[in-house]
Amino acid sequence: YQRVEEEIEKGKDAKQKVILMGDFNCKIGEMIEGNDPKTTKGGRLLKEIVKKKSMTIVNTIKEKTIDKWTRLEGNSKSIIDYMLIEETNTDRINKMEIDEKKIWTPYHIARKNGVLQEIYTDHAAIKLEIAWKKEQGKRKEKKWIMTRQGYEKFREMINQEKISEIITQLNL
């Protein structure tokens, strides 16, 4: 969990918007409605980091999360994959969707008992839809510096009415 904290700090130090998603393999208990109330040691560490670094676990925002189970194996369901985002950016989240039905979760094809089958991971894919605008950098102004010699050439071209040549040379 030290690495998680370091990655969050690295992004914030670089003035970047921070989203961190992964298989944290921990349980955070009833922070998610309907979840197993148990909190594991990793879950406690994750909660501490989230609080210390002013982050939010997107899975806990009920009105923005579609489905909840991130690991499905047989009849067993759990939430061990999380999406973290800075608290200041939670209002930008449109939705987070967890593919419990494995509609768009990647899979591979394998032959089992002579039959080709789709084999899925036991984790559901997660996608985040967020409304961020790309920040525009400052535009560099083009400055034209005209020397005395250049000015004389410019005047001569105007006097000769070679406007198209002037425009071509100025890249207008």
HEC letters along 66-109: ECCCCEEECCEEECCEEEEEEHHHHHHEEEEEECCCCCCCCEEE
pLDDT digits (tens, 9 = 90+) for 34-88: 899 999 999 999 999 999 999 999 999 999 999 999 999 989 999 999 999 999 9
Alpha-carbon span 48 to 103, nearest angstrom: 34
Average pLDDT over residues 139-148: 66
Alpha-carbon span 93 to 85, nearest angstrom: 9
* pTM (global) more than 0.85: no
